[in-house]
Amino acid sequence: MKRPLVGAAIDRVDGRKKVTGTATYAAEVAVAHVAHAVIVGSTVGRGRVVSIAARDAAALPGVIAVLTHGNAPRVPGASGKQNPGDRVIQALQDDVVWYHDQPIAVVVADTLERAQHAAALVTAEYAAAPAVGDIDAAMSDAFVPEASNPRSPPETRRGDVAAGLAAARAHIQATYTTPVETHNPMEPHATIAVWHGSDHLTLYDSTQAIFNVRRRLSAMFGLAPENVRVINHFVGGGFGSKGAPWSHVALAAIAARATGRAVKLAVTRPQTQSLVGHRPKTVQKLELGADARGRLVAIRHDVTSETSRFDDFIESCTGVTRMLYACPSIETVQRLVRVDVPTPTYTRAPGESTGTFALESALDELAYAAGLDPLELRRRNHAERDPDSGKPWSSKSLLQCYRRGAEAIGWSRRRSRTGATREGRWLVGLGVATTTRPSRQQPASARARMRPDGRALVQAGTQDIGTGTYTVMTQIAGDALALPMGDVLFELGDTALPETPPSVGSFTVASTGTAVHNACTALRRKLIDLAIADAASPLHGLRADAIDADAAALVARADRKRRDTYAAIVTRSGQPEITALLETRANEERDKYSVSGFGAVFARVRVDEDLGEVRVERLVGAFAAGRIINPKTARSQLIGGMVWGIGQALTEHSVRDPRTARMVTRDLADYHVPVHADVPDLEILLIDEVDPHANEIGAKGLGELSTPGVAAAIANAVYHATGVRVRDLPITPDKLIGARPG
């Protein structure tokens, strides 16, 4: 028997294409006679467009059209949303300005340079109104939104929080804030739109959700869904920002319809700060109480976050509070404040990244108040069942994560007193935080084909957003069919293929991977049935459960010399190929359990005593996420998530001008993502975990598990080093210089 592919650290099957530059991204697809579009953005943050001067731009050589709300094709379906995950977009359908940089015109020209030149000449007059760009100026208008997601209700209550807090022996109350953050993927958002007549549309789009784009655009233009084809073979990062179609996708299609040309529209780096979502600012008030043994008795978590004037988005920070620790009494509430900004959206580990910073910082403060080691406090409050749902965990290895991570970082040598460890001018501290992410499974379809040459073609219309989907799906298919990697071709990225969910929420492997496994298993059964029924087969007449698959063949379990190759089975069948198409849904057994991944992050930091500079010297992350399909790609994802956490903790902060609501940090020169010099020695510990309930392949979500907890672990380590508690991210030197410990 060959060594299983699942669980092996196999190189990416698309790696050669990426390093040689032959991987084709959305904006690079060769389309005949393509024109180029450039968005002109509003220069006010709120009001109406009175007039647009476009005559000079339209007169330039090569300019094909200048589209505004006055002449753009009407698209009745452009306003509103088809489902809660959609964002309300602006597609030149009216004169209302909701936020700075909102599209007010689109210039189409025969070259990108001519389109850019013409766009620079378009000007507008506005009837402007005062704009509010920060929730601090409008806190009195905060409201509790209607529930849009049953898994994340805006208000929850269990037990008697007031009584619990009154009886607590240790108690803390504090406010924590997280800033606006912007996704900034390496590949810009881009779309090429091609109309075929008036009722067929092809989009080459950089998206995490090709079927979401098809659904939304078909509804906008009144087309049958099968008449909209979305193609996307590679994505250069998205982190949630490419999970739903934004204005530029609709504008590319509108421009293509108006001009009768294929149109390419790529969002610029400054426009990515405004047009494609962001993580919203949050203000989180937490109150925790514990008894004399350090057991939590009550938690109150009150969150306020921003949304736009025209749409609702809730950063669900309180979900982790309700389920991470055993606590009898908890109250949570999520409030929104409407300000003159674009609509926020999902950003890597939405809710958990922001919520764990507050919760895990507060738990650290409670540990000091109770006189307990911060890691010991977490152990004492370990939840044996999901406190929110009451269901047992499908699997949970958090205590092993604590143990392995603590051993790796040297937690046992940690001094309890703050400011007690010094190396020259540097103050040194250790911090810990817990991380978790729900592991969900969505309906997904896959098709498996066995060809006469004994090789398999496996297809699912998912997306590879850089996570290694091409590779892990090939591994899953190869094992199910007993084929080597080289004999499996996996195709994705096209709505002409079987439908799958978006590549968001860390559920691609659990959903699409399970569908691939099940489709390939069904194909293997078909091949077995053909062999059993065929008098010419060496396996003729055997029972199906007496046959194994091995090395591109079926073999008799009792006599392995009796074998029939896939190639021979298909050839004798007289069919061009044998196919199995299957849709997979979560099994009923799964609903009896709470399915989540867990982990622990440990940070060692140095803080310059005089300058307040923070350097993360080491990060250790121990994670348990069910069956690991490929340790190499898994480690890559976990490292990427931890780097995101470093950015959240120390550098990332999108800044708006409070007078105009205009984004000031408009490119990567001003918005500081971590670079190599910011990233220390990262150690990833993967905890072996068997989960028989999560799904047929035993996998949980992993891509977003390593971001929550990092910011809190770093903040807690900074406090341990300095005695200064920073509750407002990012942790910058000005918040440490001259600050009093405590």
Name the residues annotated as catalytic. 704
Phi first, then psi: give them for residue 590, nearest 5 degrees: -60, -35
Tell me which H or E stretch contains 509. Answer: none
* Encoded tokens for 410: 């040297």
User: What one-character-per-residue DSSP string does 52-89 give?
Assistant: EE-HHHHTSTTEEEEEETTTSPP-GGGSS-SSTT----
The closest alpha carbon to 250, from 99, 106, 349, 380, belongs to 106
* Encoded tokens for 588: 């009923």
Amino acid at 135: I
Report d(CA 263, CA 108) in Å as an integer.
8
Tell me how far CA of residue 172 lies from CA of 165, 366, 378, 484, in angstroms.
10, 6, 16, 57
Report d(CA 138, CA 155) in Å as an integer.
21
* Encoded tokens for 189: 């958002």
Contacts for 530-537 with beta carbons within 8 Å, 24 or more apart? 530/569, 530/572, 530/573, 530/578, 531/564, 531/569, 534/569, 534/572, 534/573, 536/572, 537/564, 537/568, 537/569, 537/572
The closest alpha carbon to 506, from 381, 599, 580, 434, belongs to 599
β-partners of residue 116 are: none
- The Cβ of residue 665 has, within 10 Å, a number of other Cβ atoms equal to 18
The closest alpha carbon to 636, from 714, 713, 706, belongs to 706
Q: Please name the residues in contact with 688: beta carbons below 8 A apart, sequence gap of 6 or more.
A: none
Report d(CA 18, CA 233) in Å as an integer.
12
Tell me how far CA of residue 293 lies from CA of 160, 290, 382, 383, 417, in angstroms.
19, 8, 13, 16, 20
Number of H helices, E strands in the chain: 16, 27
Cβ atoms of 514 and 441 within 8 Å: the answer is yes
- For residue 739, the 8-state DSSP code is P
Cβ atoms of 707 and 689 within 8 Å: the answer is no
Report d(CA 442, CA 363) in Å as an integer.
33
β-partners of residue 63 are: 109
Cβ atoms of 669 and 733 within 8 Å: the answer is no
Contacts for 376-385 with beta carbons within 8 Å, 24 or more apart? 376/294, 377/290, 377/294, 378/325, 378/402, 378/432, 378/434, 380/293, 380/294, 380/295, 381/294, 381/295, 381/296, 381/325, 381/326, 381/327, 382/325, 382/326, 383/323, 383/324, 383/325, 383/326, 384/326, 385/594
